[in-house]
Chain A
Amino acid sequence: AQSVSQHNHHVILSEAASLELGCNYSYGGTVNLFWYVQYPGQHLQLLLKYFSGDPLVKGIKGFEAEFIKSKFSFNLRKPSVQWSDTAEYFCAVMPGAGGGNKLTFGTGTQLKVEL
């Protein structure tokens, strides 16, 4: 069975600081990887996803993530955060074949951006 770990549970940054949120997964086969964001009081929205091709994936709002297969990692980055990026960020993994599209989430990272 797949699992996901997110190392940072709470991150506080000042505006314009750079962001990197760690995500490691455990699964023996091909995977699809996702980052979702949950703004306060809202539903989850997809930031970006990886399922094949270029391991550097660009998403919405200036976010990007790099899939490093040898490290089983899919870290999320943003060069310069804004106050509006304050939210909960979830990394998720889905087996590439079979599994019924079962999406397994990490425990989330709460990001607070201060002015």
Chain B
Amino acid sequence: DTAVSQTPKYLVTQMGNDKSIKCEQNLGHDTMYWYKQDSKKFLKIMFSYNNKELIINETVPNRFSPKSPDKAHLNLHINSLELGDSAVYFCASSPGLGMGNEQFFGPGTRLTVL
């Protein structure tokens, strides 16, 4: 069973569209994250949620809106997509907000904006 899963795996869309990426974890973790990996493989945190509460928001444009309906899910909705949004988006989860907590990553969603 996949611990952290994301759908879709690939997403190709036109500029200006609105799209969502879904993430689910079956590890019973309290904390979930979204990361963006750019074309140079640089990984940067976007958001984190703990028990459905927003903990980290790294000055991401407000076109990006995370939603956590429950502890096991953290979805990412993107409005008015721009070319610069093309990247691989990784979801991750960890047991909670504690020292040394390993983050488990999903397989990634490759978003291409045309």
Contacts and interface: CB of A to CB of B under 8 A. Distances in A.
Our verdict on whether A and B bind, yes or no, reads yes
A103 B4 CA distance: 17
Contact of B105 (A32, A45, A97): A45
Interface residues of B, number: 28
A26 interface: no
A38 B50 CA distance: 25
Interface in A24-62: 30, 32, 34, 36, 38, 42-46, 49, 51-52
Contacts of A34: 102
Given A51-B100, A105-B42, A100 B55 contact: yes
A32 B99 contact: yes
Interface in A81-102: 88, 90, 96-97, 100-102
Which size class do A's interface residues fall under? 20 to 34
B90 A108 contact: no
A105 B43 CA distance: 6
Contacts, number: 63
Contact of B50 (A43, A45, A100): A100
Nearest to A88: B41
Interface in B26-75: 31, 33, 40-45, 48, 50, 55-56
Nearest to B42: A107
Contact of B48 (A49, A100, A105): A100
A104 interface: yes
A101 B101 contact: yes
13 contacts: A30-B99, A32-B100, A43-B107, A46-B103, A51-B100, A88-B41, A90-B43, A97-B99, A101-B48, A102-B45, A102-B56, A103-B45, A105-B43
Interface of B: 4, 31, 33, 40-45, 48, 50, 55-56, 90, 92, 94, 97-108
